[in-house]
Amino acid sequence: MDEIAFHTRLHRAGTLVDVGAHDGLVTLPFARLPGARVHAFEPLPSAFARLSARLAEAFGAVPPPVTLHAAALGDHAGRVTLTMPLVDGAPQEQWASTAKDYRAHVSDRVAVARFDVPLVTLDSLGLDDVTAMKVDAEGAEYEILRGARETLLRCRPVLSVEIEERHREGSTWAVPAYLDALGYDVMFELGGTFHPVSAFDRPTMQRASGDPSVFAASEPYVFVFYALPRETAAAMRDVLAGATT
């Protein structure tokens, strides 16, 4: 089960948040769900332009239920540097990060581009009906969720969070622990079955280089984690189990 299937299966009308929207892989399916309002965050200018264009192409214009933010999310408001590696001159947009500068990987093959972008917190929007949230931020997940703490406690959305040790060492411990403290059950899917995060074995399930010019990774490579509010997790797991059988 991928992130889109997860969120579709557990969809409830309300506001859906797409953090690291890139060019709309999740934003567009979110926008098509019944009763959905979408806030999509994408700080990289080139990706934001394509996100806007794809929505306009799909719907004739950016639809009124969708709000686009050319900004990064974090745990405070201000400005932040977004760093994107280039490998042999080719932009690696999906590695763009506010949490790492790739300085250690600069070589005759790897260069970096830097962008000064706005930084906001999700809590600052004062949303009161968030039902789902997807986070893909190349190492900045912990700060994003810290800046969404009040929203998570108030709204109790379901979450999918992409967490990789290659982007931030220790993040696969820290982010699930933070969500656990907020009353979330964190799990991952492997072989059609959901497993608690306590079963996640980093040496065999997530081994990869942080160098953007090196693409080798372990098999399996598990990096998407799902979080359910503990008070409704059992019923939601039953729904998901029906979708994977």
Q: What is the DSSP string of 41-71?
A: E---HHHHHHHHHHHHHHHSS--TTEEEE-S
User: What is residue 115's three-state secondary structure?
Assistant: strand
Task: Identify the residue whose tokens are 């949230």.
Answer: 133
Name residue, tokens 């359910």: 228
Distance CA 98, CA 115 (A): 10
**Token pair 């959305």 in the structure block, residue:** 157
Report the pLDDT value the prediction gives residue 83, as an integer from 0 to 100: 98
Find the CATH number of the domain harbouring 191. Answer: 3.40.50.150
Range of the domain at 119: 3-244
Q: Which of 162, 167, 168, 152 is nearest to 231 (CA)?
A: 152
> For the chain, which residues score pLDDT lower than 50?
245
Q: What is the pLDDT of residue 189?
A: 97
CA-to-CA separations, 213 to 23, 86, 87, 182, in angstroms, rounded: 22, 9, 6, 37
pLDDT by residue (tens digit) across 93-140? 999 999 999 999 999 999 999 999 999 999 999 999 999 999 999 999
Q: Mapping DSSP to helix (H, G, I), strand (E, B) and coil, where does residue 139 land? A: coil
pLDDT of the residue at 242? 83
Report pLDDT for 215.
84
Q: Nearest Cα to 157, choosing from 72, 22, 37, 76? A: 37
Comparing C-alpha atoms, which of 175, 174, 171, 159 is closest to residue 230?
Answer: 159
Where are the alpha helices (H) located in 60-165, listed in sequence order?
141-146, 149-155
Number of domains into which the chain is organized: 1
